Structure 1
Amino acid sequence: MDSSLRALVVDDDVAVRFTVRSILERCGFKVDEAGDGEEGLAMVTRGAKDGGYQLVVTDIHMPRMDGLELLKAIQQFPAPRPKVIVVTAHGTERQTVDAIKSGAFDYFKKPFEVEEVMAVVRRAAESVALSAEVERLSGELSLSRSLIFTSPAMSRLAVLVHRIAPRDVNVLLTGESGTGKERVSEALVMASQRANKSYVRFNCAALTAELAEAELFGHAKGAFTGAVKARAGLFREAHGGTILLDEIGELPLSLQAKLLRVLQEGEVRPVGEDQPVKIDVRIIAATHRDLLQMAAEGKFREDLYYRLKVVHLQIPPLRERPEDVPMLARHYLAEYSRRFGVGPFALTPPLLDRIMAYHWPGNVRELQNAMESIVALSSDNELDLELLPKAKGASSSSPASATPSALTQAAPVLVEPPTSAATGEPIVADLKARMDAYERGIIMNTLDQVRGNRSQAARVLGVNRATLHGKLRKYGITDADDEATDD
C-alpha cells in the first residue's frame, strides 16, 4: 500500500483512538489523532494545504462537534477530499443511515473486530488509489491537448491543471523561457467553466506604459494623440472569459497599481473616462522572472504578486524531464517533414544520442527550432546531425554520447489519437485501446534502440522471448518485416 497515505482518527476515547490507530498503521497509513470534531476539522483544514488526509475515521458521539457535523463540514471541502468512515454504537442505526446519506464512505460498529475494520480500511484505500488514478489520467488527457509529454514531472503538473482549471481563481505560471507556459494557459482555459468565452492574450513587454494602459483598459476618443476613436480595451473584450498577461514581470510599475485595482474591485477605468466599468475576467499571469525577488528590489508590487498568485504552477525545464525529449523530437520531425515535403525522418540512435546529451537551455522552444532547422536543411532525405547544437566537450566528429541511457532505451512512444474525417477532432479511444497503443509504442521503440534484436529487446523489456513474440503478433509487428532478428 502507498506509504504516503495519511489518516486522521477522531474520537474522545483515548483507548479507541489507540486501537484504530494501530489498525490503520498496519494497513500502511501514517496516522494523526484528534480528541473531538472541532480539533479534527481544524487538522483537516490545515492538512489540506500540504496534500491533506486521504482518510478520516470518526466517532459519532463526541463533545463540542459530533461526527456527523464533522462529516458534513468535510463534504464542503473541494475535491479531492478525504474518505470518511464513521464509528457507530449499538442503537444508532438512524444516525448511521444519516451518515451514509451525508457522504460517509462506510461505517463499523462498536465493539468491533480488527479484521472487520481492516476490511473497511482496505476498501477505502483502494477507492483513494482509484480516484487518484482517474484524476491523473484526466489531467494528462487535459494537458495533452496542448502539450506533448510522458514524464512524471509533467504528469504531476497535469493533475494540478485538471484540478484547478474549473475553479475560478487567478493563476500564476512561472518557468524558464520556452517551457510552455502559454500552452499550460490554454489547457487551463479549455478545462475551465469559461472555455466557450473570450480568451485574450497580452504580452506585457510589447508596448510602452502609455500604449499598454490604453490597450489593456481601453480609452475614450481623443484621450491622447492618435486616439481617433474609442476603444474598449482587452479586459472588456475578455469580459466573461480569461485574459493571459504574459511576461507580467515586465509590466511598468505605473500600470501595476491599475492592475491591482482590477483584481480588487473587478473594474477598469478607460483612459480619458471618469467612470469605471465593471468586468468579470479570470486572470492568468505568466513570467520567467522571480517576482518575489523583484518585489524585494522594488521592481514589482508585493501586494499585486500575492493577488496574482492565488494558485502558483511552476513548469519544469526540459532538462528536468528528459523523458519528454524523444517524444517531442519525434513529433517535430514528423510535423516538419509533412510541412516541407521531405522524409519522413526517424529518430535514429545517433540522433537520439545527440539530443539527449544536450542541455537545451532554450527548453522546448529550442528543441522545436532545432528540429525545424535540421529538417529544413536536410538533403537527399538524410539529416545532417552536425546542424544540431553540441553538448559541452562533444567533438564534431563523434556522437555526443556513446550509448543511449537506460531511460531513453525504454522511452515510450505515445501514439497520437486518430482524428475524425468530418470534424478533424481527436477520437478518444477507450482505456484498453490506449494502453495497447502505449505498449506497442514501447516495444517498437525498444526494437529500434537495439536495432531489431528481439532477444536483446526481450531482456530490456524484462520478458521472455515467447512473450515478446506473442506481443509482436498481437500488434502486427510481424516477422514478415524481416528487420527483427534473434541472437
Structure 2
Amino acid sequence: MRGRLLVVDDEPGVRFALKVVLEDADFEVEQAADGVAALERLDADPSIDLALVDVSMPRLGGLELLDRLSVRQGAPPVIILTARGSERLAVEALKRGAIDYFAKPFDEDELLRVVMRNVVTSRLHGEVSRLRAALSLGRTMVFESQAMARVAQMVERVAGRDVPILITGETGSGKELVARALVAASKRADKPLFTLNCGGLTDELATAELFGHTKGAFSGAIRERPGLFVAADGGTLLLDEVGELSPRVQSALLRVLQEGTVRPVGRDESRSVNVRVLAATHRDLARDPGFREDLYYRLRVVEIRVPPLRERPEDIIPLARHFANRAADRMELGPMRLAPALERTLVAQPWPGNVRQLEHVVHALVALSHEAEIGLDVWALANDSSAPVRPGGTLKARVDHFEAGLLREVLDACGGNRSEAARQLQVSRMTLVSKLKKHGLD
C-alpha cells in the first residue's frame, strides 16, 4: 500500500471515480461527503496521509475545512479539487494551507503523479517534523510512540502562536509537561511561568490567587497580594484542572480574557495585563454543564490532547528507565537498570494513574532495591505497603513510601470516598487531593 487517502466531495460520482483510480494505484481510500463528515472521519482515524478536498460543498466547504485543519493535531496535508477556471479559489486555498490543487475533470495519469508526489513529500515532511519536535521536546518529555510524536508536532506548530491553548487528557498523562514544552518553544520562554492548580480551591482563595487583593480587602488580608495575572504579566499562566473553577470564578476569568485587564479585590481601578493563558483539564468541558461555554471557546483556541499511557505502551519502558535513572541520582545511588522480566511486567500494567503513577512506582522500586538491577522481587515488595525501604534510602524516600501506603490503606477503607478519608486523616480535602496527586494515586 502506497498510502492512505481521504477523498472529500459532495458528488458521489466524483468520489467513486477517484476511489477506483486511486485504489488501482495501490492506495487505500476513505470517503466523506463534506467537510463535517471529513472531520468526523479524521476523529475516528487520524492516520490519513493525504486528503483530496473539493472546494465547494454544503455544510462545510473546502476552504473552511482548511481553516479547521490548520490548528488540528496531526491533520493531513490537503490537495484542493476545483473546477477548471477557478484559479482564484485555488490560490486562496494555497494561502490557507493547501499543499497543491487539481482541476476537475481530471486526467488520471496527471492526478496520480500529483498524489504520489505529495504523499512522498508529506511523509518526508512528517518524519522531519517528528524528529525536530522530538529533539525540541527532548529536554522535557520522553517518548517513542507515534501518538506522542503527533503531540510534539502540534507543540512545535502552535508554540509560537500567542493564543490560549487547552491541554486535555487524563490525570497524570503529562499535561503540565506539554505546557512547559509550549512555553519553552514560545516567544515568552524567557518570561515568567506561573501555575495554579484549580482543584479544591474555594471561591475566595481562587479569586485571591488569580486576581489579587489589597491589604484589608477582607478578613485575613493582612497584606497586599498582586495575584497571578499581575505576577505573570508578559509571561504565561497555566491553569491546571481549570474545570474545577466555580461559575463565579469562571465569570471573572472570562472577563479578564475578554478585556485584558484585572482588578484586584478591594481596588477600584483595573490594570492591563499581557498574559498568555494555557489551561489543562481531565474533563470533557464541552459537555460539562457546569462550565461556561463562552469561557470554553476562549480557552480552546487550539486544543492539544495528551493520550493516556495505555494508548502508547511504547513509551512505558523509556519512561521507566528515565525515572529509574533520575531517582537513583536523587538518592545518590549508582546506576540502576530494570530487569527484562520487570520491564515486561511494567508494560502489562494498566496504569490508570498514567505517567505520574509510573514515575512514583519506579521511584519506589529504586528506593527498595538492594541491587543495581531491579527485579520482580522488588516489584513484589513495592506492592506491599508494609515493605521496608532500602537502608540507603533518604529520609524523604522513606517518608514518601510510608505516606503513599497509608493513603492507599485509608482510601480503600473508605471505599474511595475522599471526604471521609480526609476526615479520618484529619487533613483538609484539598491537602488530601494534593498528596494523592503527588503519589500518583488520583
User: TM-score with structure 2 length normalisation?
Assistant: 0.69
Flag the 1:367–1:265 CA change in 2: closer, same or farther, 3 A.
same
Larger radius of gyration: 1
SS of match in other structure, 2:225? coil
Flag the 1:183–1:32 CA change in 2: closer, same or farther, 3 A.
closer
Mapped partners of 1:337, 1:141: distance in 2: 25
> Which residue is equivalent to 2:79?
55
Cα distance per residue 1:152-180 (max 9 Å; x no partner): 22222222222222223322222222211
Mapped partners of 1:384, 1:16: distance in 2: 60
Flag the 1:2–1:161 CA change in 2: closer, same or farther, 3 A.
farther
> Which residue is equivalent to 2:93?
74
Contact persistence 1:139–1:155 (CA under 8 A):
yes
Q: Report the Cα offset of residue 190 of structure 1.
A: 1.6
Contact persistence 1:178–1:364 (CA under 8 A):
yes
Q: Write the mapping of 1:314-393 to structure 2, written as runs, cut at 5 A.
A: 314-381=305-372, 383=374, 385-388=376-379
Contact persistence 2:210–2:228 (CA under 8 A):
yes
- Please tell me whether residue 144 in structure 1 is matched to residue 138 in structure 2: yes
SS of match in other structure, 1:221? coil
Q: Write the mapping of 1:28-39 to structure 2, written as runs, cut at 5 A.
A: 28=27
Mapped partners of 1:207, 1:33: distance in 2: 47
Listed as ranges, the gaps of 5+ residues in structure 2 are 35-52, 70-74, 384-442
Q: 1:256 aligns with which of 239, 242, 250?
A: 250
Flag the 1:76–1:267 CA change in 2: closer, same or farther, 3 A.
farther
Structure 2: which amino acid aligns with 1:318?
Answer: L
> Which residue is equivalent to 1:306?
297
Q: Percent identity of the aligned residues?
A: 44
Q: Report the Cα offset of residue 272 of structure 1.
A: 1.0
Listed as ranges, the gaps of 5+ residues in structure 1 are 89-109, 393-487
SS of match in other structure, 2:4? coil
Flag the 1:347–1:267 CA change in 2: closer, same or farther, 3 A.
same
Mapped partners of 1:124, 1:39: distance in 2: 23
Q: 2:99 aligns with which of 83, 86, 91?
A: 83
> Which residue is equivalent to 1:220?
214
Q: Report the Cα offset of residue 2 of structure 1.
A: 4.7
SS of match in other structure, 1:178? coil
Q: Write the mapping of 1:265-284 to structure 2, written as runs, cut at 5 A.
A: 265-284=259-278
Question: What is the RMSD of the two structures over their aligned residues, measured on CA atoms?
Answer: 3.8
Mapped partners of 2:8, 2:89: distance in 1: 12
SS of match in other structure, 1:341? coil
Structure 2: which amino acid aligns with 1:274?
Answer: D
> Which residue is equivalent to 2:226?
232
Contact persistence 2:369–2:378 (CA under 8 A):
no
Mapped partners of 1:300, 1:86: distance in 2: 44
Q: 1:162 aligns with which of 142, 147, 156?
A: 156
Mapped partners of 1:245, 1:158: distance in 2: 21
Mapped partners of 1:226, 1:58: distance in 2: 67
Contact persistence 1:244–1:283 (CA under 8 A):
yes
Contact persistence 1:354–1:390 (CA under 8 A):
no
SS of match in other structure, 1:158? helix
SS of match in other structure, 2:195? strand
> Which residue is equivalent to 1:285?
279
Cα distance per residue 1:213-266 (max 9 Å; x no partner): 122112223322444443332112222321100121222332111011112222
Mapped partners of 1:247, 1:18: distance in 2: 46
SS of match in other structure, 1:330? helix
Flag the 1:351–1:222 CA change in 2: closer, same or farther, 3 A.
same
> Which residue is equivalent to 1:194?
188
Contact persistence 2:198–2:206 (CA under 8 A):
yes
Contact persistence 2:191–2:236 (CA under 8 A):
yes
SS of match in other structure, 2:95? coil
Cα distance per residue 1:394-438 (max 9 Å; x no partner): xxxxxxxxxxxxxxxxxxxxxxxxxxxxxxxxxxxxxxxxxxxxx
Contact persistence 1:318–1:364 (CA under 8 A):
yes
Contact persistence 1:332–1:372 (CA under 8 A):
yes
Q: Report the Cα offset of residue 185 of structure 1.
A: 0.6
Structure 1: which amino acid aligns with 2:345?
Answer: R
Mapped partners of 2:373, 2:126: distance in 1: 45
Structure 1: which amino acid aligns with 2:338?
Answer: L
Mapped partners of 1:126, 1:21: distance in 2: 19
Mapped partners of 1:379, 1:33: distance in 2: 62
> Which residue is equivalent to 2:45?
none
Q: Report the Cα offset of residue 194 of structure 1.
A: 2.4
- Please tell me whether residue 205 in structure 1 is matched to residue 224 in structure 2: no
Alignment coverage as a number of residue pairs: 358
> Which residue is equivalent to 2:413?
none
SS of match in other structure, 2:333? coil
Higher RCO, Cα 8 Å, sep 6+? 2
Flag the 1:42–1:114 CA change in 2: closer, same or farther, 3 A.
closer
